[in-house]
Amino acid sequence: MRRLELDFQPRRTGLAAWALLAVGASLVLGATLLQQGFSQQQEALEQQLQHVERQLGKRPETISSLTPAQSREQTEKLAQMRSVSQQLQRPWERLFNMLEGLPQDDVALLTLTPDARKGQVRISAEARDLEAMLAFHKRLEASGELRDVSLLNHEIMAKQPEHPVQFNLSATWEIGNAHP
């Protein structure tokens, strides 16, 4: 059997080892503090970026959960946006060309109000007399762009010298192969 050697006295480490340990610990502490500083700066910059994007409308506000009222409001806004999109896709040029091409010596168009959802248009106008209003109505019915032209209401302006007629028409706007 071999001889058992037990060393009960620890070896003494030198001052250089303690200095190396202190330098290593200070480097680790410095790196940790530096990393925390960078993390705080990055978080502050991300918050500023989110704030600027929200102001520019590029990033929506974060919504954790919607209440039923907020959900209805969001649905209504989406429906409004779809309506605007549908109106923008309509062939406006054809409608305007058709209206401008009609003889309108005795009729003045006041407003044109489209409803893209229903595919209808409402026309408010003023005619020199009742016959001019009826002739305009017939010309719209004969056009290829509008169908189901109907007189909604009319009013003879008795207080004015020539007694003009203000009236509103409703019509279905034919758009051919475009999407309503």
Question: With 70 as the cut, is the pLDDT of residue 89 above it?
Answer: no
| Mean pLDDT computed over every residue of the chain | 83
180: pLDDT confidence band, cut at 50, 70 and 90? very low
Specify the residue for token string 């959900």.
71
pTM, whole model, 2 decimals? 0.50
Report in angstroms the alpha-carbon separations of 24 from 18, 19, 32: 10, 9, 12
Distance CA 49, CA 55 (A): 10
Mean pLDDT (whole number) for 159-163: 85
Output the pLDDT for position 115.
Answer: 78
> 40 or 145: whose pLDDT is higher?
40
**CA-CA distance, 47 to 76, in Å (whole number)?**
30
pLDDT reported for residue 56: 84
Q: Is the pLDDT of residue 109 over 50?
A: yes
Question: For residue range 16-69, what is the model confidence (pLDDT) as tens digits?
Answer: 888 899 999 999 999 999 999 999 999 999 999 888 888 887 755 555 577 888
Residue 120 has a pLDDT of 86
Return the pLDDT at 167.
Answer: 94
- pLDDT for 55 equals 84
- Give the helix ranges, DSSP H, for 8-148: 15-56, 68-88, 92-101, 130-142
pLDDT at 60: 58
Q: What is the C-alpha to C-alpha distance for residues 129 and 55, in angstroms, rounded to an integer?
A: 54
